Amino acid sequence: MAEFVPSYTPGIVLVLQTILLFSIARADLPGTWELIVQDAGIASMHTAVTRFNTVILLDRTNIGPSRKALDRHRCRRDPKDAALKHDCYAHSVLFDLGTNQIRPLMIQTDTWCSSGQFLSDGSLLQTGGDKDGFKKIRKFEPCDPNETCDWVELQDTELITGRWYATNQILPDGSVIIVGGRGTNTVEYYPPRQNGAVPFQFLADVEDKQMDNLYPYVHLLPDDDGGHLFVFANSRAVKYDHRLNTVVREYPPLDGGPRNYPSGGSSAMLAIQGDFTTAEILICGGAQSGAFTARAIDAPAHGTCGRIIATAADPVWVTEEMPFGRIMGDMVNLPTGEILIINGAQAGSQGFEMGSDPCLYPLLYRPDQPIGLRFMTLNPGTVPRMYHSTANLLPDGRILLAGSNPHYFYKFNAEFPTELRIEAFSPEYLSPDRANLRPEIREIPQIVRYGEVFDVFVTVPLPVVEIIQMNWGSAPFATHSFSQGQRLVKLTVAPSVPDGVGRYRIQCTAPPNGAVSPPGYYMAFAVNQGVPSIARWIRIVS
């Protein structure tokens, strides 16, 4: 792939974009926005939703003062921190969705561009970072909002190899694989394994001058009992057998240039359903090749997407075009099986002050529609969310938007300032005219086992005319345009049976194994004619 050489006329691009946006703005576009918190105190670089309906927001420590003070007599002391050696400010907070209250949390070591994943017991594993956080392993055990859980930095174990810009993925046995990182072309595991850090040559092979192999896209495939991972970095992908440390398949390259950090595309796996043996991967957007090293902040982003059946006998990429070029977008698996693409910019690359032209229009990707009809442009927001922003699905079906800090430190007097506001976007399925279709889960088990048949009871205002789906989604660790561990599973269900006035019983079968749904907690949604219920948390165990 040739290096990027600017060859466009900025004025023409701006005029065309203005005409396009003006024509779209005249339409009545779906979706609504709301401001939830005016000032969260920190700009969230990493975000995760817990089973207690709280949200962990996490920045980095060596950023100087935040806007949220730690509790009295709680300060971090680091003589090597060039910004603030005696730091009494929070760099992580806990947001209570029920009250919209913010509680400061204490993080000791630098979490800049780190990675994370929920474990099977519901605790958040958080790994790596920069400087004193390079080899650190941390845990956050969520608690009731009235309690005072906080970060714990493990003292008895650390990463075998320091990791910065790595990716975590929970495996069927509940362990976590930690993949890559800046200058770290290996994998390792938590809990640590005897073989330590294992070389992964693929990551070295795809590394280029601007290191487009960072934050690799890692998806656990549902085939072969969960022994295979789809790993994408730069513009290439492999099927990796983590048990044997062997690449068992090389996929065709995806055209359109690099897609991973710092070129800022995004990826999600489509809903797993049917017989649970098929996995389709979607990758969208990205910067032009070389835009990062050239500091070409006005270089138009790509609008191409690639979709591939990773489990097919002869997999090929099918490409399609988004309505907008986009970098630094976030992909969110919605309860319906559709994908929301939100946040980001239309020019530049990832990196401090490297992006321009914020992309305020979300997109709805409808995977079951024909090519050319899959993307729907949604109601635009007003807050630019570019570098270091996040998007997470909430149990009520909204999408939480947090962060955006394109600057090395907090900077509020800028074209794209450090962003402390928290917003929520409501897809069209939450519109008032669909309220009579929205089911409410009345009874559901708290714990199920693989393959178990169980009943869910729901109520619906209007009579049910279609099969009510039961879909459950993981709670991923969102950072840098990729949600680590994200997946949506559509359970096998029987047609709903009336059980009183407006009440229905749905017979469900839990996923067959940990390759389909790794052990842990999920948001279980009942979906009626494309309208999801408020989720109930459910745990799957062996």
Within this chain, do residues 222 and 88 fall inside the same structural domain, yes or no? yes
Q: Are residues 372 and 520 in the same domain?
A: no
> What's residue 20's pLDDT?
52
Q: Please name the amino acid found at residue 70.
A: L
Cα separation, 539 vs 118, in Å, equals 12
Give yes or no: residues 269 and 414 share one domain: yes
pLDDT band at 10 (very low <50, low <70, confident <90, very high): very low
φ/ψ of residue 30, rounded to 5: -70, 155
Band of pLDDT at residue 81, cut at 50, 70 and 90? confident
Rounded Cα distance, 66 and 63, in Å: 8
Residues 386 and 470 placed together within one structural domain of the fold: no
Domain assignment of residue 13, yes or no: no
Q: What is the mean pLDDT of residues 146-164?
A: 97
- Quick one: tokens of 481? 């345009």
**Last residue of one domain, picked from the residues 430, 463, 493:** 430
Does 1 score more than 90 pLDDT? no
Domain boundary among 430, 452, 486: 430
pLDDT above 90: percentage of residues in the chain: 92
The total of other beta-carbon atoms located within 10 Å of residue 72's CB is 7
Pairing outcome for strands 447-449 and 536-541: parallel
Which tokens go with 471? 């879909």
Q: Are residues 425 and 456 in the same domain?
A: no
Q: Is residue 8 situated within a structural domain?
A: no
| Averaged pLDDT, 129-142 | 97
pLDDT (mean) for 415-436: 98
Residues 450, 411 within the same domain: no
In a domain, 536, yes or no: yes
Which pLDDT score, from 0 to 100, does residue 437 have? Answer: 98
Residue 3 lies in a domain: no
Give the DSSP per-residue string, 73-129: T--EE-TT-SS-SEE-B-SEEEEETTTTEEEEE---S--TT-EEEE-TTSPEEEE--
Instruction: Give the whole-angstrom CA distance, residue 517 versus residue 337.
Output: 15
Tokens of 193: 């394994």
In percent, the amount of the chain with pLDDT more than 70 equals 95
Same domain, 443 and 424: no
Q: Within a 10 A sphere around the Cβ of 255, how many other Cβ atoms?
A: 12
Q: How far is CA 25 from CA 235, 378, 384, in A?
A: 34, 10, 17
Give start and end residues of each alpha helix (H) in 154-255.
201-205
Task: Please report whether residue 182 resides in a domain.
Answer: yes
Q: Report whether pLDDT(83) > 50.
A: yes
Question: Same structural domain for residues 144 and 196?
Answer: yes
Cβ–Cβ < 8 Å for 105, 59: no
Average pLDDT of the residues in 408-436: 97
- Across the range 460-486, mean pLDDT stands at 97
168 & 101 share domain: yes
Examine the domain organization and report whether 362 and 257 are in the same domain: yes
15 pLDDT exceeds 70?
no
Whether residue 392 is found in the same domain as residue 494: no
Three-state DSSP class for residue 25? helix
Give the domain extent around 118. Answer: 32-430
- pLDDT at 280 exceeding the cut of 80: yes
Residue 331, CA distances (Å) to 287, 478, 482, 522 in order = 16, 10, 7, 18
Output the pLDDT for position 372: 95
Count how many domains the chain has.
2
Q: Which of 369, 403, 430 is the last residue of a domain?
A: 430
Residue 471 lies in a domain: yes
Domain with residue 446: its CATH number is: 2.60.40.10
CA distance 50 to 45: 17
pLDDT at 5: 46
What CATH number does residue 148 fall under? 2.130.10.80
The model carries a pTM of: 0.94
- 407: which 2 tokens? 């600057």
What is the mean predicted confidence (pLDDT) over 505-509?
A: 98
Tell whether the model's pLDDT for residue 244 goes beyond 50. Answer: yes
pLDDT in the model for residue 27:
55
According to DSSP, residue 14 is labeled H
pLDDT bucket at 6, cuts 50 / 70 / 90? very low
- Look at residue 264 and tell me if it is in a domain: yes
The confidence score (pLDDT) of residue 82 equals 83
Interval 175-189 mean pLDDT = 97
Largest CA distance in the chain: 67
Q: Is the pLDDT of residue 156 over 90?
A: yes
Q: Are residues 522 and 413 in the same domain?
A: no
Question: Does residue 433 surpass a pLDDT of 90?
Answer: yes
- Would 270 be classed as within a structural domain? yes
